[in-house]
Amino acid sequence: MGWGMPVRPPTPSTPARVQALYELCKRTFPSPPSVVAAVASSASPPPDHAIRAISSLMDTITPADVGLRDGNPEEDGRGFGFFGSNLMRDSERVARWAQPITYLHVYECDAFSIGIFCLPTSAVIPLHDHPGMTVLSKLLYGSMHVKSYDWVEPAVLASSKSVRLGKLHKDDVLNAPCPTAILYPQSGGNMHCFTSVNSCAVLDVIAPPYSESAGRVCSYYHDYPFSSFSAGNAKTVHRPDSYAWLETINTPVNINMRPGMYTGPTVQEHLS
C-alpha cells in the first residue's frame, strides 16, 4: 500500500494540505481485515518512516488550513452528553467535564479518520485508550496539558484492588506550535487525557478508527499513585512517580461533546 514514502514529503500549498493529508493516509493505512479477523488479531502499524511522513506533513498544517481561527468555535454554546452517564464524583470534575467540546469531522473510512477536537479553556477529555490504533495529534493553537501512559508488560496487578500498573509516558503542557505527537498500539502513551490550559484545537488522525463491531472499543481509566497499592506479583520500580495504577471505569463516561461544522477544504475522495 505505498509505504515507500519519503521521510519528509514535499510541502504542498496551503489549500492543498488537507487533501495531501488524506492522500498520504490513504496510501499509508490499509483497510482493516474482516470483522472476524479484526477481533481475533491486531494488525501491526505501518513502518515508522511512513508514520513520520504523515507527522511531517501535519507539522505544516495551521488553523487557517482547516478553516479555524485561534479560538474555539461557539465556545459559549451548549453541548450534549456524548456518552450519556453521570459518573462524576465531585462538583469540580463535573464543572470541568461539563465544558462543551466541539468535534469537527473532516473524513472517515474503515482505515482511518481525520477530525478536529476544539476545547474551551479548562475542558477535559478524560484518560482513555486506543486499542490497536495508531494516532497522530497536532495541536493547532492554544495550550494543553497531556498526561499519558503505556501498560507495563508483562502485566503487573495490585494485590488488593482490580488495577493494573502503567508507566507514565508524558505529563507536560504543550504550547502551539509544537511537533505532532504519535502514539502506537503498545507505546507512545496509548492511554492519555487532555486538559486545555486555554482554548485549543487538536487535529487527529486515527488509524483505524474506533469500531465496536471490530473490537476497538474506547475504555476509560482512573489513575492512582503507585504508593496507593502493593503489587500482587513482586515488582520493584525505580522512580515510583513514573508509574501509576490504572483502574478501568466500567460506567460510560459523560463527555459533553457536540458536532460542529467543519469549514475547511473538503476532501476529494479517490475511489479505488
Distance between CA atoms of residues 101 and 141, nearest Å: 15
Query: What pLDDT is stored for residue 272 in this prediction?
Result: 55
Q: Which amino acid is at 113?
A: S
Of 65-79, 113-127, 152-166, which one has max mean pLDDT? 113-127
Query: What pLDDT is stored for residue 159 in this prediction?
Result: 82
- pLDDT 10s digits, 140-161: 999 999 999 999 999 999 888 8
Query: What pLDDT is stored for residue 87 in this prediction?
Result: 35
Residue 88 pLDDT > 60: no
- pLDDT 10s digits, 27-68: 999 887 655 444 434 567 899 999 999 999 999 999 999 999
Contact 251, 270 (CB under 8 A): no
Query: What pLDDT is stored for residue 92 in this prediction?
Result: 46
Q: What angle do CA 152, 148, 66 make, to 5 degrees?
A: 140
Within 8 A by CB and 6+ apart from 272, the residues are none
Checking 242-245 for CB contacts under 8 A at 24+ apart, the result is 242/167, 242/168, 243/152, 243/165, 243/166, 243/167, 243/168, 244/149, 244/165, 244/166, 244/168, 245/158, 245/161, 245/163, 245/164, 245/165, 245/166
Distances (CA, A) of 69 to 23, 119, 181, 264: 25, 13, 22, 11
Contact 225, 243 (CB under 8 A): no
pLDDT band for position 126 (50/70/90)? very high
Distance between CA atoms of residues 89 and 46, nearest Å: 40
